[in-house]
Amino acid sequence: MKTLIATIALALMPAAVLAQEAPASEKPRWSLAIHGGAGTLSRDAMTPEKEAEYEAMLQTALDAGAKVLADGGDAMDAVKAAVIIMEDSPLFNAGKGAVLTWDGDAELDASIMDGRDRSAGAIAGVRTVKNPILLADRVRTDSPHVMLVGEGAEQFALEKGFAVTPQSYFITPMRLDALERMKAKQLSALDVDLKFGTVGAVALDQKGNMAAATSTGGMTGKRWGRVGDAPVIGAGTYADNRACAVSATGWGEYFLRVGVAHEICARLRGVKEFNALTAESDGAAALQPEEAEYIADSVMADVKDLGGDGGVILVTPEGHAVFSFNTTGMYRGRATSDGVNEVAIFGSEDKVSSTPDH
């Protein structure tokens, strides 16, 4: 009977009550996590110079987003600042340096979501926009739609004043070589590149708002207009102030089937609501870092059971910054208002959630 009453109470509880946060801390808190792809990564296959190059670029992106948050800026601006840095770097599979389609072109996908009102924007199959994440955000703010694709997205970009960037800007020797090896040896995308260089960022700002952003070039040699999870709201990107903000990287077909980003947020929201019903104080209703890690790991285990791999980053309303991946490594970083500031690549490195000062 008590279980039934609790279930009914939860169903009838106003959304405003469910969305209540724990009491604000005396010190404003913020949190940021970024990723630059996950996959088969090992120190043996990476030179110290290349490792240092990746770590430096991750730190640059992390610093850009963290500065926005530390200065009292919005989570949306923070995730864009971090993602743009990685889109402009040829080290990652997004923007400049994106992987190439079977025909040798760069086709770019991106999505962004605001946890305040769950407004979202996404683009797919775009070839002439330098920073796809900015176009995705314009879809969110300046159109009645959520996703635009291909020629329509290009036309929208022109109408909104985006410069036309030539394909030569995006194409790098490394990506050309990967495509040529794939065709010559009839390999799969996984055989030529055992890592997913999709980039993403998630943030909690000092006002308690969250945002998520993801950008990618997809998979090497993709054909027939293939689109993965990165531009799909609920699969590769999701943000909801009531629960979390998530950005994913990995084998998109499996992330689409699981609905990874929304699945994680939905489960965390359920835990938070249950805590609110059973807690004796507002503070006790807050999510614990272990709860966030457990749920993220459980969803990634589901992806692995289906045959997929990759990883996610997420932040919670309490400011916990969490990583979860079922691969040997993930390019990643996090910074918080309590002084955490770190970047990492390999799976052997510690994966401990940060707990901000309250």
Q: How many helices (H) and strands (E) does the chain have?
A: 12, 13
198 in catalytic set: yes
Torsion angle of the four alpha carbons 85, 353, 214, 304, in this order, in degrees rounded to the nearest 10: 130
Q: 226, 216 in Cβ contact below 8 A?
A: no
Q: Helix or strand or coil: residue 42?
A: coil
The Cα-based distances of 50 to 44, 179, 234 in angstroms read: 12, 21, 33
Residues 6+ apart with CB under 8 A from 32: 62, 65, 66, 69, 78, 82, 201, 202, 203, 204, 315, 321, 334, 335, 336
What sign does the CA torsion over 58, 63, 69, 70 have? positive
What sign does the CA torsion over 283, 313, 231, 164 have? positive
Buried-exposed string 118-142: b where 16+ CB fall within 10 A, e elsewhere:
eebbbbbbbbbbbbbbbbbbbbbee
User: Helices in 131-218 by DSSP H: which ranges?
Assistant: 132-142, 150-159, 167-170, 173-185, 189-192
- Distance CA(275)–CA(308), nearest Å, equals 32
Q: 32, 202 in Cβ contact below 8 A?
A: yes
Q: Are strands 195-196 and 244-250 parallel, antiparallel or unpaired?
A: unpaired
Catalytic residue (choose from 128, 198, 237, 328): 198
Nearest to 40 by CA among 345, 282, 316: 345
Q: Are strands 147-149 and 108-114 parallel, antiparallel or unpaired?
A: unpaired
Q: Helix or strand or coil: residue 7?
A: helix
Residue 177 one-letter amino acid? D
Which residues have a catalytic role annotated?
A: 198
